[in-house]
Structure 1
Amino acid sequence: MYTDASEVPGPVALRLERVSKSYRTGNARVPALREVSLSVPAGTFTAVMGPSGSGKSTLLQCAAGLDTPDSGRVLLGSTDMSRLRRRALPAFRRDHVGFVFQSYNLLPQLSVVRNVTLPLLLGGRSVERDWLKYVLEAVGLAGLDERKPQELSGGQQQRAAIARALITRPEAVFADEPTGALDSAAARQVLDLLRHTVTDLGQTVVMVTHDPAAACSADNVLFLADGQLDGSMANASVRDITERVAYLGER
């Protein structure tokens, strides 16, 4: 993780500049992010960790364009999402952002292939059959094109969700606790798949997780405490991450 884009040795996929966000609770406003600045290199896997209430989900939502900061800028590739008009943001997000939810968010009445290609169809874009075939093979769903979500295991459903996130060739894929609803074996497969999308497909992945075992799959782990950055680790072990999380906010 870099706080200055000039430090990144290569293209920058995502940049946050002094991003702040707060939410109203009764008559008070509660800060979720406090002037967070960071840059994520293209083609890397970043995990975001922090205790409950640290702002990690808000960070992910602002970075993905699902929420709007109160102040600061969010740039995805060369586009400043903070300056996009309200009507333009959903279309940009659909074409340039991939998002993987903990609960999969697949439509039960649609087949795997229709769930995967839904972002293209909603955007009025044609489906590249070769790319679709490649993505389905890459996530291990070849031959399961016409199955409905309820005919798949939890791990397979998350693989379909990852395929959907990849189908538009996005600038970045954001994953919110993608292994939270899976058993340990399926979780390991999903993490290996996310790793594969980075290593072999050149994708940029940013993942929120509470699990040090999941975070150690990432190239870099970003720590948040009380809405502020509290350091980062590169190529960290489970033990390193666990020990660091235990002392978040104490420095």
Structure 2
Amino acid sequence: MTSFTSPLPPVQSPPQSAVRLADVSRTYGSGRTQVTALDAVSLSLAPGSFTAIMGPSGSGKSTFLHCAAGLDRPTRGSVWLGDTEISALKPKARTLFRRDHIGFVFQAYNLMAALTVEQNVTLPLLLAGRRADRAHLDHVLDAVGLADKRGRRPAEMSGGQQQRVAIARALITRPHAVFADEPTGALDSRTGRQVLDLLRHTTTDLGQTIVMVTHDPVAAAHADRVLFLADGRLVGRMDSPSAAAVADHMTHLGEW
């Protein structure tokens, strides 16, 4: 008698890209007043990578972040986070996807003053109607150096500690990627360096994908690579950057 066995389901390999933009353009206005903020940008960022985005004022850095993170929809092209084309999602679905799968760290910490560290960190889970995994929460708080400060409120903490809370909040949902917009802009140089070291740590030790928009060559030097924007277009890339090399390249971009 011949026996038959059901075929095993195919093994799903992890996505080759954590973040992928394909021919992404974003324009505002129409006719003579139309402005092209992004112009046919294509790139692919690997999982667990730390990428800095730099460019002169008006180069399209903020528009890039908004489109890549699903805060805005491109006029043309597609944006993928993992296996999901977020640019094809309707606004409500895109909002829910951001909440569950994307982390954000901004220059302003955006913490709730009445909440403790632990409550601020777990707020995204509360809004999603999900319970915190205590082991993961402990792991995240320990990773950002706040394990002994979970009961404090923002007013009782330094700026650097508050930014650590914001980073922990971004990590708590196990996001596909964390987008950081000038995360050290409000910090002194020493505290800023500590925060950048922490972001570096999240990629090397936690495998987290980080995309950081910055104007600071020293901040950019903490990344694996720097991508340069000018007039809405990708115009250069630097791997294993140094602050001096980034600053020199930015000088030439200002003249470009």
In structure 2, give the amino acid aligned to 1:225: A
Q: Residue 11 of structure 1 aligns with which residue?
A: 16
Seen in structure 2, the aligned counterparts of structure 1 residues 105 and 25 have a Cα distance that, compared at 3 Å, is farther
Which 4+ stretches in 1 moved above 6 angstroms? none
Rounded to whole Å, the distance in 1 between the matches of 2:235 and 2:202 is 27
| Structure 2 CA distance for partners of 1:26 and 1:118, relative to 1, 3 Å | farther
Q: 1:44 and 1:242 mapped to 2: Cα distance?
A: 22
2:175 is equivalent to residue 170 of structure 1: yes
Q: Taking structure 1 as the reference length, what is the TM-score of the superposition?
A: 0.93
Residue 143 of structure 1 corresponds to which residue in structure 2? 148
Aligned-partner Cα distance in 2 for 1:121–1:45? 28
Of 60, 76, 80 in structure 2, the residue corresponding to residue 75 of structure 1 is: 80
Select between 143-152 and 132-141 the one with higher mean Cα deviation.
143-152
Is residue 222 from structure 1 mapped to residue 215 from structure 2 by the alignment? no
1:44 corresponds to? 49
Query: Identity of paired residues, percent?
Result: 63
The residue number in structure 2 matching 1:93 is 98
Where in structure 1 are there 5+ consecutive unaligned residues?
Answer: 1-9
Residues 86-95 or 241-250, more deviating? 241-250
1:50 and 1:19 mapped to 2: Cα distance? 17
Question: 1:57-111: per-residue Cα shift (whole Å, max 9, x none)?
Answer: 1101110111111111000000000111211111110110000010011111111
SS of the equivalent of 1:87 reads helix
2-structure distance, mates of 1:44, 1:109: 34
Q: Residue type of the partner of 2:50?
A: F
Q: Secondary structure at the match of 1:248?
A: helix
One-letter amino acid matched to 2:23: R
Given the alignment, which residue of 161, 176, 188 partners 1:183?
A: 188
Aligned to 1:102: 107
The amino acid that maps onto 2:233 is: Q
Encode CA deviations 1:156-206: one digit per residue, 9 max, x unaligned: 000000000000000000000000000011100000000000000000000
Shift of 1:30: 1.3
- The structure with the largest alpha-carbon Rg is 2
Superposed CA deviations along residues 3-36 of structure 1, whole A, max 9, x for unmatched, are: xxxxxxx821000011111223997121110111
Q: Which amino acid aligns with 2:122?
A: T
Report the 3-state secondary structure (helix = DSSP H, G, I; strand = E; otherwise coil) of the residue aligned with 1:126: coil
| 8 Å Cα contact 2:56-2:254 kept in structure 1 | no
Q: Please tell me the root mean square deviation across aligned C-alpha atoms, in Å.
A: 1.5
Cα distance in structure 2, aligned partners of 1:51 and 1:194: 23
Question: 1:250 and 1:27, CA in 2 relative to 1: closer, same or farther beyond 3 A?
Answer: closer
In 2, the alpha carbon distance for the partners of 1:222 and 1:199 equals 20
Question: C-alpha separation between the residues in 2 aligned to 1:26 and 1:150?
Answer: 49
Contiguous gaps of at least 5 residues in structure 2 = 1-14
The alpha-carbon distance between structure 1 residues 25 and 182, as it changes in their structure 2 partners (threshold 3 A), is: farther
